[in-house]
Amino acid sequence: MGERKKVAILGSSGGNLYFLGGKEPEKLLDELLLQLEAADIHCTALQFIAAKASMDNIKETTDAVLYSWDEENNSPFIIYKGTLKDVNDVAAKLDAEIAHKIDKDEIDGLIFMSADPHGSNQLAVQAAASKKLPATGTGGTSMAAIGSKGVNVVSTSGTTGTTNRTRAVTFVTSLSKHWKITYRPIIGKATTASGSHDLAASPLKRINLRGMMLSSLPGFIAMALILALSKIPGLAMLGSVFDVMIQALPVILAVIAAKQVADLDDVSIVAGIVAGVLSVNGGIIGGIIGGIGAGLLVHFIFRKCVEWRFPATTVNIAAGGIAGLISGLIVYFLIAPIALQIGEGIRFLLDSLVSMSPLFAGLIAGLLIWPAIIGGIYHAAILPIVLLEMERTGNSFLGAVDMVGLVMVSAGITLANIISPRDKGEAAVAAPGFMINMGFGTFVEAAYPFMFSNKYVFAGAIASSGLGGLLVGLFNVRGTAYVPSIMAPFLSNNMTGFIIAMAGSLLCAFTITFIINNMAKKANRTPIQQDTELTG
């Protein structure tokens, strides 16, 4: 195995680059250092001028900072702050130091980003040209000038359409191919080079249906809000907005899926949008399939285009546009009808079971929902069905059971522990959980400490949830959780019924927990304490 290669990073926040990551230099540099680490390439020198405005329209008095390299901590640091004129003067001294390192063979290659070969990077460029060092970078005009000075430019590109990640992967891939170094891009977690990160190279390992569903939930809640508002007198015109939002749901899921699988910032987002628009006829299942396909293709096309040394701008266009188009067309012509039928089949099966015996269906759902969420089944099995229901009507039978069986029961348990805790410390633990459950319709885990520490409270939670589910079935309620409890009835198909079901499960859980807590406190009193109360 050869000696570890060393590179210098030279450049500025640039003109166009400023709007594509340059105005956040630390994030830009962190992503590049992360990819260099993946290739086992060491950064040994850094000169990066970050201005507070685009270099296309800038004055010498504009504020700027100069980043250099801390060799002891292996990280960038700000060496100087001041006006752009003063920063350029300090950068010229740093340029001379880097050129000296190149002359001493302490640098093997260079990465340029909107560099200035006629000014702040002049000496380093001259030294690199004399040593015939390989270089890569972005910035059409500057890279052309760098190449004309004799630097061995192994790849170059403009900045348009690039992101921090796509630029970094392109740079490191080009240098790795030149040096014949094995490099697998780190795509999965956007973290600093010194922090922990996901080294999983296969995009298949990043497919997470649970994560897709949870991330898309805000879109479904927004749709439910529009449905509720459309029922208010004078706002009936929002009914057409609701229809538009239903069509948007597959697009939302496709974008989330593509972003999760490819994780190439704007490129994967664009691919997801293209695929999602073409997957609308397949419903949310079609959107998920289209998005996953787009993400896989983005990853594949991006890597191939980089290996073929396409310019970074072209790489992004090809990966984002073509990947989304191919995946979307496959769903549009082949998968959409099947995906739509699968979704309709699941909804029909649930509706059939509920219509056969709403009371029994609600009771069973209520009794099973706590074991489901504790066992990790809820997000994998129940939440997708909730979203499938909401895709058609804006609310859900299981969504209503979620609110009454989980959220309200958790609120009841925590409320009882606020009013009558077994010890004073439990009240402090319960209060935030109660407020979050009531205020946001989530964080049912707040009840776990009380349920797991007392089997009777646990049994009471399941019984209260069963009661809530029974009431949901009795009133044939369709609703949703993840919204403030006061708002939830307005998003349902039966406001009165939902209020009764919510109140019923909350009061039941509160009463059971309240009684159990008081019995426990009484059992824990010493005989002396009891005698004192009787005689006092």
* 121-155 tens-digit pLDDT: 999 999 999 999 999 998 878 888 999 999 999 98
> Taking a C-beta distance cutoff of 8 angstroms, is the pair 24, 125 a contact?
no
Q: Looking at residue 79, what DSSP letter applies? A: E
> Taking a C-beta distance cutoff of 8 angstroms, is the pair 484, 504 a contact?
no
With residue 278 as reference, give the H or E element that holds it: helix 266-278
The rounded distance, in Å, linking the Cα atoms of 522 and 502 is 30
The rounded distance, in Å, linking the Cα atoms of 90 and 75 is 19
pTM assigned to the model: 0.72
Percent of the chain with pLDDT over 90: 54
Q: How confident is the model at residue 76 (pLDDT cuts 50, 70, 90)?
A: very high
Give me the torsion for CA of 131, 136, 139, 143, rounded to 10°.
30
Q: For tokens 């009764």, what's the residue?
A: 500
**Over 90: is that where the pLDDT of 243 sits?**
no
- Mean local confidence (pLDDT), 356-371: 93
**Over 50: is that where the pLDDT of 415 sits?**
yes
Task: Look over the chain and give the mean of its residue pLDDT values, rounded to a whole number.
Answer: 87
Q: How confident is the model at residue 525 (pLDDT cuts 50, 70, 90)?
A: low
Least Cα distance to 263 among 332, 128, 378, 169 occurs for 169
Question: Which are the contacts of 214, defined by CB distance < 8 A and separation ≥ 6?
Answer: 379, 383
Q: Quote the longest CA-to-CA distance of the chain.
A: 101
Lowest-confidence region among 43-47, 217-221, 320-324, 449-453: 217-221
Lowest-confidence region among 284-288, 330-334, 393-397: 393-397
- Mean local confidence (pLDDT), 406-417: 95
Q: Looking at residue 376, what DSSP letter applies? A: T
> Taking a C-beta distance cutoff of 8 angstroms, is the pair 397, 492 a contact?
no
Least Cα distance to 403 among 386, 427, 391, 419 occurs for 386
The rounded distance, in Å, linking the Cα atoms of 145 and 524 is 83
Q: Which domains occur in the chain, in start order?
A: 6-201 (3.40.50.2300), 204-342 (no CATH), 357-524 (no CATH)
Q: How confident is the model at residue 194 (pLDDT cuts 50, 70, 90)?
A: very low
Least Cα distance to 259 among 268, 267, 248 occurs for 268
The rounded distance, in Å, linking the Cα atoms of 99 and 106 is 10
Lowest-confidence region among 261-270, 345-354, 374-383: 374-383
Percent of the chain with pLDDT over 70: 94
Tokens (6 digits) for 286? 């079609």
Q: How confident is the model at residue 158 (pLDDT cuts 50, 70, 90)?
A: confident
**Over 90: is that where the pLDDT of 334 sits?**
yes
Please tell me the predicted confidence (pLDDT) of residue 502.
Answer: 96
The predicted-structure confidence for 434-477, as pLDDT tens digits, reads as follows 999 999 888 899 999 999 999 999 999 999 999 999 999 999 99
Terminal C-alpha separation, the chain? 85
Please tell me the predicted confidence (pLDDT) of residue 187.
Answer: 63
- Mean local confidence (pLDDT), 259-281: 90
Least Cα distance to 110 among 127, 94, 92, 91 occurs for 127
